[in-house]
A and B are shown apart, each in its own frame.
Chain A
């Protein structure tokens, strides 16, 4: 692993009285939270609980109604919105590779639109290796890749500008279980290796319990629980958290029971 990709360590994050209203609907309700540099936060909760809205207020794809977000102690509105986004990696469920550009150009887009020199071929190769893709993919078009391969490119594209902070909005939601497992595990390894700060929105509680440092359970725009996986599994974090943890726990118990049956 080249040093260039290791240098940066993720920033801290601060949500201060953050709210977002849509008319009478409160999507995010006065949230104040802190994230340590290098933490891996999983954001879970039912659909409509405000997870994605909270995430997107970090890179200002959604602007808050009130409150503010600070990255490394600096308000996100300090700089131009496109400057902010270039310093943050963003990966989302629908991937959004540019269909008219080959993989190399998709990965290099960050440097192309920024003031940086064009990304050298060597770095594109490194990024492809980082996400476990063969080098010859560089010249392929997005529609020639499988869904899992496309999302690996999505991650490589997000990492190409060497961000410290990664925002992931159900990044592996549309993939098959095996691919999802592989990608999630290899991304957690990347997170550690590159010293990133990551916020990942996910529906998959089992995955959150397995790879996150800390889990925020969201309910009706509020953080209903904020705990480590071990704490959540031990219980005592409210009904919302219990019902979410109950699913993978029950599955695991039933699986073990079936094995015992055999």
Chain B
């Protein structure tokens, strides 16, 4: 407990910067949603068909999980870049803004329509009777009387938006979700807590201020309403203030990392090196696997670590197995010719999908290979990460071995290992460079048919720096310098429960262990 408390203070270190970004995004989304929903609500309150269509659409959006909605905007915006060029940024602020705006529409729209339709018929008749035009009726009568209901909708939307904004991390928009995702992956609970508490506190404060405004409107206490509005505006100004100062300099390198510990460590390892060489560095952490490669091709991320097998199967749509050097060679040529992406080279270790079982099962049931696994699979529950079952590798494995599991369950990687040790799963699709395999004495099964392709970690450089000799020279020492043992150790420093290290600390340790084989 004591140690845990010690961790909490540093966990809040990045909060101000992320809070500001979080606030900007949430406010922008809410403002845009208001801009769309309020006029639409006025229209819908006067036309039943419009009401049906608008509310139907907004409800439909709500049924899409926020995470999926965010991810869907990437390919959509990418298609639009073909038309509008650099005006559209398919990663980061724009997709987050659009997804959150769509999410915020429903409560605002529904409450505004209810509020406007709920104005007493006698009052509407009086407004008509005295000769108000439609606009006057709306401004002088309907809007003021519907205002409390509309404000209640805005409050709901604000709380949802602030909560859902944590998910924008996955499309490369910094938010308080950075802390939550990084914390979840590295089992740094104080980081998760810092992200959750701050985002919850923000939601509560904004809700309270909006509630005060709502109450002030209902009881016609103008001063109190304006005070609350001024406090909100003040918060927004505070959030916007640092923008101009930091800015995206031309020499800022954006380092991407996917949503697991190894990626966070390697991002820091690269980042430290570049900073030492005088570059400004920014991190886009917690990106989805599918988003990452495209982000690099578009210079949304300048440097990343990807895995040979991932590019081979997901990006190149290959399902054949070729020898490792040939595979890396093919990927390098393909990336350069198709996207201008420079595959600087392998880091020296592999992080492949490794089927792992508990040591007692391995011994008692005599499981050593994937063929053995196929034999016992009807009695086994298969635990995977969130994406494995959808990946082509799973199909390749199933084609090679007749696996028929009793059940399949997907977990966040952290919980996947826990699921195996706590017997909620009997075999997992572990990552071979993960330190938790060795730490738990899990047994990794052989793949005699070579169904899983090679997963050498590759350093990918986006077109912007692809031919920058100085830049390449800076990262050159990382190539072929990290053995799988070292990577496992570095990963375990972050993943373990006791004496846990931050990804940055682990990266510094790893930097001292580079073994240049060249």
Q: Are B122 and A100 in contact (CB under 8 A)?
A: no
Asked, given contacts A99-B145, A113-B136, A113-B140, whether A92 binds B125 with beta carbons under 8 Å apart, the answer is yes
Residue of B with least CB distance to A80: B133
Q: Are B145 and A100 in contact (CB under 8 A)?
A: yes
Q: Are A61 and B141 in contact (CB under 8 A)?
A: no
The 8 Å CB contact of B125, one of A61, A82, A113, is A61
B128 at interface, CB cutoff 8 A: yes
Q: Are B130 and A99 in contact (CB under 8 A)?
A: no
- Residues 49 to 104 of chain A near chain B (Cβ within 8 Å): 59, 61, 82-87, 90, 92, 94-100
B123 at interface, CB cutoff 8 A: yes
- Residues 217 to 237 of chain B near chain A (Cβ within 8 Å): 220
Chain A residues whose CB sits within 8 angstroms of the CB of B141 once the complex forms:
98
> Complex Cα distance A109/B139, Å?
13
A235 at interface, CB cutoff 8 A: no
Q: From residue B225, how far is it (CB to closest CB) to chain A in Å?
A: 13
B126 at interface, CB cutoff 8 A: yes
Interface of A is mostly: mixed
Chain B residues whose CB sits within 8 angstroms of the CB of A100 once the complex forms:
144-145, 220
Chain A residues whose CB sits within 8 angstroms of the CB of B131 once the complex forms:
82-87, 110, 113-114
Q: Are B129 and A82 in contact (CB under 8 A)?
A: no
Q: Are A86 and B130 in contact (CB under 8 A)?
A: yes
Q: Are A96 and B122 in contact (CB under 8 A)?
A: yes
> Complex Cα distance A99/B219, Å?
11
Q: Are B122 and A95 in contact (CB under 8 A)?
A: yes
Residue of B with least CB distance to A91: B129
A162 at interface, CB cutoff 8 A: no
- Which of A83, A84, A100, A158 gathers the greatest number of chain B CB atoms within 10 Å? A100
B322 at interface, CB cutoff 8 A: no
Residue of B with least CB distance to A93: B122
Q: Are B145 and A113 in contact (CB under 8 A)?
A: no
- Residues 102 to 122 of chain B near chain A (Cβ within 8 Å): 120-122
> Complex Cα distance A112/B131, Å?
11
> Complex Cα distance A90/B125, Å?
10
> Complex Cα distance A92/B126, Å?
8
Chain B residues whose CB sits within 8 angstroms of the CB of A86 once the complex forms:
130-131
Asked, given contacts A113-B136, A113-B140, whether A99 binds B123 with beta carbons under 8 Å apart, the answer is yes
Chain B residues whose CB sits within 8 angstroms of the CB of A152 once the complex forms:
none
> Complex Cα distance A95/B124, Å?
11
> Complex Cα distance A136/B130, Å?
24
B132 at interface, CB cutoff 8 A: yes
Q: Are A98 and B126 in contact (CB under 8 A)?
A: yes
A157 at interface, CB cutoff 8 A: yes
Q: From residue B287, how far is it (CB to closest CB) to chain A in Å?
A: 50
Q: Are A109 and B130 in contact (CB under 8 A)?
A: yes
Q: Are B129 and A85 in contact (CB under 8 A)?
A: yes
- Residues 75 to 121 of chain B near chain A (Cβ within 8 Å): 120-121
> Complex Cα distance A158/B220, Å?
25
Chain B residues whose CB sits within 8 angstroms of the CB of A85 once the complex forms:
128-131
Q: Are A59 and B126 in contact (CB under 8 A)?
A: no
Chain B residues whose CB sits within 8 angstroms of the CB of A98 once the complex forms:
123, 126-127, 140-141
Chain B residues whose CB sits within 8 angstroms of the CB of A113 once the complex forms:
130-133, 136, 140
Chain A residues whose CB sits within 8 angstroms of the CB of B136 once the complex forms:
82, 113
Q: Are B132 and A96 in contact (CB under 8 A)?
A: no
Q: Are B126 and A61 in contact (CB under 8 A)?
A: no
Q: From residue A167, how far is it (CB to closest CB) to chain B in Å?
A: 8
Chain A residues whose CB sits within 8 angstroms of the CB of B125 once the complex forms:
61, 92, 94, 96
> Contact mask B42-57 → A, CB, 8 Å, 1/0?
0000000000000000
Q: From residue B116, how far is it (CB to closest CB) to chain A in Å?
A: 15
Asked, given contacts A100-B220, A113-B136, whether A90 binds B144 with beta carbons under 8 Å apart, the answer is no
> Contact mask B123-157 → A, CB, 8 Å, 1/0?
11111111111001000110011000000000000
- Residues 114 to 160 of chain A near chain B (Cβ within 8 Å): 114, 157-158
Q: From residue B231, how far is it (CB to closest CB) to chain A in Å?
A: 24
- Which of B126, B129, B136 gathers the greatest number of chain A CB atoms within 10 Å? B129
- Which of A86, A98, A112, A114 gathers the greatest number of chain B CB atoms within 10 Å? A98
Asked, given contacts A94-B122, A96-B122, A98-B123, whether A61 binds B129 with beta carbons under 8 Å apart, the answer is yes
Asked, given contacts A98-B141, A100-B145, A113-B140, whether A90 binds B129 with beta carbons under 8 Å apart, the answer is yes
Q: Are B123 and A96 in contact (CB under 8 A)?
A: yes
Asked, given contacts A96-B122, A98-B123, A99-B145, whether A59 binds B140 with beta carbons under 8 Å apart, the answer is no
Q: Are B122 and A82 in contact (CB under 8 A)?
A: no
Q: From residue A42, how far is it (CB to closest CB) to chain B in Å?
A: 20
> Complex Cα distance A197/B220, Å?
39
Asked, given contacts A83-B131, A114-B131, whether A96 binds B126 with beta carbons under 8 Å apart, the answer is yes
Q: From residue A252, how far is it (CB to closest CB) to chain B in Å?
A: 34
Residue of A with least CB distance to B126: A96
Chain A residues whose CB sits within 8 angstroms of the CB of B127 once the complex forms:
96, 98
Q: Are A96 and B129 in contact (CB under 8 A)?
A: yes
> Complex Cα distance A94/B124, Å?
11
Q: Are A59 and B129 in contact (CB under 8 A)?
A: yes
> Complex Cα distance A114/B123, Å?
18
Residue of B with least CB distance to A105: B140
- Which of B124, B128, B133 gathers the greatest number of chain A CB atoms within 10 Å? B128
- Residues 335 to 350 of chain B near chain A (Cβ within 8 Å): none
> Complex Cα distance A84/B133, Å?
11
Chain B residues whose CB sits within 8 angstroms of the CB of A87 once the complex forms:
131
Residue of A with least CB distance to B128: A61
Chain A residues whose CB sits within 8 angstroms of the CB of B123 once the complex forms:
96-99
Chain A residues whose CB sits within 8 angstroms of the CB of B133 once the complex forms:
82, 113
Q: Enumerate the 3 nearest inter-chain pairs by beta-carbon distance, A residue then B residue, closest first.
A: A96-B126, A86-B131, A94-B122
* CB-defined A-B contacts under 8 Å, sample of 19: A61-B125, A83-B131, A84-B131, A85-B128, A85-B129, A92-B129, A94-B122, A96-B120, A96-B124, A96-B125, A96-B127, A98-B140, A99-B120, A100-B144, A109-B130, A109-B140, A113-B131, A113-B140, A157-B130
Please list the residues of chain B having a beta carbon within 8 angstroms of any beta carbon in chain A. Answer: 120-133, 136, 140-141, 144-145, 220
> Besides the contacts A85-B128, A99-B120, A114-B131, what 11 more A-B pairs have beta carbons closer than 8 Å?
A82-B131, A86-B130, A92-B125, A92-B126, A94-B122, A95-B122, A96-B126, A98-B127, A110-B130, A113-B132, A113-B140
